[in-house]
A and B are shown apart, each in its own frame.
Chain A
Amino acid sequence: MTVESETSVLSAQGLCKEYGKGAALVRAVQAVTLEVERGELVAVVGPSGCGKSTLLHLLGGLERPTAGSVRLGGSALERMPEAQQARIRRRDLGFVFQAFHLVDELTALENVELPALLAGASPRGARARASELLAQVGLADRASHLPSALSGGQQQRVAIARALANEPLLVLADEPTGNLDSSATTELLRLFEQLHARGQTVVVVTHDERIAATADRLISMRDGAFVDETKLAGGTARPLSAMAGLEA
Chain B
Amino acid sequence: MGQVVQLEKIEPLQGYKLRIVQEVVLALLAKQASHGYQLQARLALALGPLGGALNAGHIYVTLGRLEKADLVRARRVDQAGRPDRKVYELTAAGRERVHEWLSDTSWPKPAPAEFHLKLVAAAAAGLADPVRLIDKQRGELLVGLREAQRAALAEPAGSVAGLLLEGVVLRLQADLRWLEECARYWNAAKG
Residues of A within 8 A of B (CB): 47, 186, 189-190, 193, 207, 209-210, 212-214, 218, 220, 222, 227-228, 230, 232, 235-241, 243-248
Contact = CB atoms under 8 A, between A and B. Distances in A.
B75 interface: no
B47 A246 contact: yes
B10 A248 contact: yes
State which size class the interface on B falls in.
35 or more
Nearest to A243: B168
Interface string B146-171: 11111101000000000011011101
B1 interface: no
Contact of A240 (B132, B142, B153, B168): B168
B104 interface: no
Tell me which of B140, B144, B164 has the highest count of chain A C-beta atoms within 10 A of its own C-beta.
B144
B173 interface: yes
Q: Chain A binding site: helix, strand, loop or mixed by DSSP? A: mixed
A217 to B, nearest CB: 10
Given A214-B146, A214-B149, A246-B47, 10 more contacts: A47-B184, A193-B150, A209-B173, A218-B139, A230-B139, A235-B139, A241-B47, A244-B165, A245-B108, A248-B17
Given A209-B176, A243-B172, A248 B143 contact: no
For the complex of A and B, list the 4 residue pairs with the smallest distance between their C-beta atoms, beginning with the closest: A230-B139, A235-B143, A237-B144, A213-B145
Contacts of B173: 209-210
Nearest to A190: B153
B41 to A, nearest CB: 17
16 contacts: A207-B180, A210-B149, A210-B173, A214-B146, A227-B135, A232-B143, A237-B143, A239-B53, A240-B49, A241-B52, A244-B50, A244-B167, A245-B17, A245-B108, A247-B12, A247-B53
